[in-house]
Structure 1
Amino acid sequence: MHIAKMEGESIFDEDVDRRSGNLLRAWREHRGMTQEQLASAVNTTGSVISLLEAGDRKLSPKWLYRLAPALDTTPGYLLDHHPEDLPDDIIETWSSIPQAQRKHAREVLQTFRHRTGTED
């Protein structure tokens, strides 16, 4: 479970995220954004972001694809990976790759996964 770091900082409540089935709140806080800032970035309201974070409104594929770029992540990471559990350098490197080049970058990385042998 992730706990508040310092007094006055928000607490990441893993139980809330388990109920909502997503990690939207964790990613928003990781990026240092308020609900209103994220809402503005995706042309909605803070109330809608609150509903999405709480699971009171479904985080549909449509929402995932709107929110992920605003949070410099991927739709799948919003559902499956807490930002504090991932190495920062991987997240930041991926975020720095322009959207148009990410498919190619993913293909290049997959070649390493399928590579055989013992060469370093």
Structure 2
Amino acid sequence: MARGALPKGQPRFRLTFIRQWREKKGFSLDALASRVPMDKGNLSKVERGLLPYNQEMLERLADALGTDPASLLMRDPTDPDGIWSIWDQAKPGERRQIAEVAKTLVRTSRTGTDG
């Protein structure tokens, strides 16, 4: 193996949550690839970090998966305790309360009044 080279199959690019979103939404690799459209082999490589993604690809994938491009990079839709999973389940009034509690939590931790 060349010096500095990664072993075959190791991610070379930033990993995303594309696979998790695809599986959560019930898409097979074939179905999502044809919907985007892109080669399913390339989609698989992007999911595994073997091929880079670009903004246009993220936007097409996000549209097909009913989310936004940032979520494909930062949000694991399978984490039920993740703040965005909780946010997605909340009603508008509950979202306002969540935001206020979060602001208070951050504010008190910065002032050292959290106990």
With the shorter chain as reference, the TM-score category is 0.5 to 0.7
Please give the root-mean-square deviation of Cα atoms over the aligned residues, in Å. Answer: 3.0
Q: Does 2:58 correspond to 1:64? A: yes
Q: TM-score, normalised by structure 1?
A: 0.56
* 1:45 matched residue in structure 2: 39
The verdict on how the C-alpha distance between 1:89 and 1:113 changes in structure 2, with shifts beyond 3 A counting, is closer
Q: Does 2:67 correspond to 1:73? A: yes
Q: Which amino acid aligns with 2:36?
A: V
How many residues of Structure 1 are paired with residues of Structure 2 in the alignment?
82
The verdict on how the C-alpha distance between 1:30 and 1:88 changes in structure 2, with shifts beyond 3 A counting, is farther
| Runs of at least 5 residues in structure 1 that lack an aligned partner in the other structure | 1-15, 94-108, 115-120
Q: TM-score, normalised by structure 2?
A: 0.58
Higher normalized helix content (fraction of residues): 1
1:22–1:59 CA contact under 8 A, matched in 2: no
**Percent identity of equivalent pairs:** 30
Following the alignment from structure 1 to structure 2, what is the Cα–Cα distance between the partners of residues 20 and 38?
20
The verdict on how the C-alpha distance between 1:46 and 1:81 changes in structure 2, with shifts beyond 3 A counting, is same
Following the alignment from structure 2 to structure 1, what is the Cα–Cα distance between the partners of residues 63 and 27?
13
Q: Which has the higher contact order (CA 8 A, sep 6+)?
A: 2
* 1:87 matched residue in structure 2: 85
| Runs of at least 5 residues in structure 2 that lack an aligned partner in the other structure | 1-9, 101-115
What pairs up with 1:1-120 in 2 under 5 angstroms? 20-85=14-79, 86-87=84-85, 90=88
Cα distance, 1:87 vs. partner?
2.8
Paired residue secondary structure (2:78): helix
Which stretch shifts more, 82-91 or 40-49?
Answer: 82-91
Q: Which has the larger radius of gyration?
A: 2
